[in-house]
């Protein structure tokens, strides 16, 4: 055999996944146990009757251009939670999608706390992350172009 080929690269020892010597690690796709006392939750814990009751009472949430009505402005001090920031962005996106450009631009401007004369618009509220601010500015610009 050529000594250059015997570099150890292919000298990897593979073990059989069925050999049981690796019982200390959880199997792939299972939750690790905390303290060893927790038991996994049974997937079939809900009975058919309970499922049917939930299914009868379930109503699909349909958004038809009215997300902006759920927005509470001003945002207030502190960091804006991610779900709330996403709702703000979705409200502006929805107005843009439904071609309500002037309303979308006004909402984006109100969210950003901007007044061009005061030059606060570029700063925006401190609680929003930079990606959200960037997208809100983008939609405000696009809405103003479409008006």
Is 4 a member of any domain?
A: no
Is residue 121 assigned to a domain? yes
Is 23 inside a domain boundary? no
Query: Does residue 51 lie in a domain region?
Result: no
Distance separating alpha carbons of residues 95 and 139, to the nearest angstrom: 10
In a domain, 107, yes or no: yes
Q: Tell me, yes or no, if the pTM score tops 0.75.
A: no
Give me the domain span that covers residue 125. 85-146
pLDDT digits (tens, 9 = 90+) for 65-86: 688 888 887 777 788 888 888 9
Q: How far apart are CA 89 and CA 81, in angstroms?
A: 13
- Whether 77 is in a domain gets the answer no
pLDDT score of 119? 42
CA distance 32 to 37: 11
In angstroms, rounded to a whole number, what is the distance separating the alpha carbons of residues 95 and 108? 10
Percentage of the residues of the chain whose pLDDT score is greater than 70:
61
Residue 39 resides in a domain: no
Continuous H helices in 1-147: 48-57, 82-97, 101-112, 130-146
Residue 101 class from Cβ within 10 Å (0-12 exposed, 13-18 middle, 19+ buried)? Answer: middle
**C-alpha dihedral (44, 48, 49, 50), degrees to nearest 10:** 40
Q: In this structure, is residue 106 part of a structural domain?
A: yes
| Omega prior to 118 cis, within 30 of 0 | no
How many separate domains does the chain show? 1
pLDDT tens string 5-20: 565 666 666 666 655 5
Rounded CA-CA distance 49/4 in Å is: 68
- Is a pLDDT exceeding 70 seen at residue 39? no
Per-residue model confidence (pLDDT) at position 142: 93
Reply yes or no on whether the pLDDT at 60 is more than 70: yes
- pLDDT exceeds cutoff 50 at 116: no
């Amino acid at each position: 055999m050529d000594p250059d080929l015997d570099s150890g690269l292919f000298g990897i020892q593979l073990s059989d996944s069925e050999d049981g010597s690796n019982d200390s690690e959880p199997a792939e796709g299972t939750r690790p146990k905390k303290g060893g006392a927790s038991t996994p939750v049974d997937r079939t814990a809900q009975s058919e009757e309970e499922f049917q009751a939930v299914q009868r009472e379930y109503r699909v949430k349909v958004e038809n251009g009215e997300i902006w009505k759920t927005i509470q402005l001003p945002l207030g001090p502190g960091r804006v939670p991610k779900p709330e920031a996403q709702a703000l962005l979705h409200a502006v996106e929805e107005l843009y999608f439904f071609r309500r450009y002037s309303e979308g631009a006004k909402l984006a401007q109100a969210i950003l706390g901007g007044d061009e004369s005061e030059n606060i618009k570029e700063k925006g509220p401190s609680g929003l992350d930079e990606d959200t601010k960037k997208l809100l500015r983008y939609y405000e610009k696009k809405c103003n172009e479409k008006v």
